[in-house]
């Protein structure tokens, strides 16, 4: 099991295609994924706000499956640290506190400006965009990464997706560099 630990922000867990690839990689132990009950609440509430027809119970099942299948993923006990931290957006302090408490190496987020290096560095934590994080994981272990993508794509049955269609989905999710780098491995996906 890898010791490299990533706290996944709600904006990484919100879109299903991005969540799926991160979770599949986490269960391969390529890295350790962490989140909190508050992060779960954020992505579920945002999804229900933007897509009111979504089934809350189905999203709760997804949350439960995530917690059950990703080893040691839930960070707890960070709440007392929140008020002592400074960030440009005070609403993100709980994420920073969870990363500190969970001994995370990186916060994976699409809101990099909310997590300035100058504030994170004293705690030994980086912030990385999900596209850059995934590219780094692909560079580290292309075989494991491609196997994880193959599993995710195989689960998409209604409808099924060609490799090209799946890479287009990743591109639309903002994972442009990841999709581009995966093109060279299309026979393995």
In tens, the pLDDT along 94-103 reads 999 999 999 9
Cα-Cα-Cα-Cα dihedral sign, residues 89, 94, 95, 96: positive
Residue 3 — very low, low, confident or very high, per pLDDT cuts 50/70/90? Answer: confident
Strand pairing partners for 34? 7
Domain residue limits, the chain: 5-129, 135-188
3-class DSSP assignment, residue 82 = helix
CATH code that applies to domain 5-129: 3.40.50.1010
d(CA 115, CA 107): 8
Reported as a single tens digit per residue, the pLDDT across 121-143 is 999 999 999 999 999 999 999 99
Model pLDDT, residue 156:
86
Model pLDDT, residue 102:
97
The values of phi and psi at residue 182, to 5°, are -70, -20
Model pLDDT, residue 157:
79
Picking from 158, 152, 120, 113, the residue whose alpha carbon sits closest to that of residue 24 is 152
Model pLDDT, residue 1:
61
Q: How high is the mean pLDDT of the chain?
A: 95
* Count of CB atoms situated within 10 Å of the CB of 14: 17
- In this prediction, residues 153-168 reach a mean pLDDT of 88
Reported as a single tens digit per residue, the pLDDT across 32-61 is 999 999 999 999 999 999 999 999 999 999
Reported as a single tens digit per residue, the pLDDT across 55-90 is 999 999 999 999 999 999 999 999 999 999 999 999
């Amino acid at each position: 099991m890898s010791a490299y630990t990533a706290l996944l922000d709600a904006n990484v867990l919100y879109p299903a295609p991005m969540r799926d690839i991160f979770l599949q990689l986490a269960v391969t132990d390529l890295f350790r994924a962490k989140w909190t009950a508050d992060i779960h609440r954020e992505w579920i509430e945002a999804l229900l706000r933007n897509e009111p027809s979504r089934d809350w119970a189905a999203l709760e099942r997804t949350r439960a499956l995530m917690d059950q299948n990703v080893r040691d993923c839930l960070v707890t006990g960070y709440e007392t640290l929140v008020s002592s931290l400074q960030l440009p957006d005070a609403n993100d302090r709980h994420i920073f506190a969870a990363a500190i408490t969970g001994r995370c190496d990186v916060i994976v987020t699409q809101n990099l400006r909310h997590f300035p290096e100058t504030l994170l560095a004293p705690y030994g934590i980086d912030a990385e965009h999900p596209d850059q994080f995934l590219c780094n994981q692909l560079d580290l272990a292309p075989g494991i990464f491609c196997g994880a993508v193959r599993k995710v794509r195989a689960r998409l049955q209604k409808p099924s997706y060609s490799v090209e269609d799946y890479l287009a989905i990743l591109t639309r999710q903002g994972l442009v560099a990841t999709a581009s780098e995966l093109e060279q491995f299309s026979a393995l996906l």
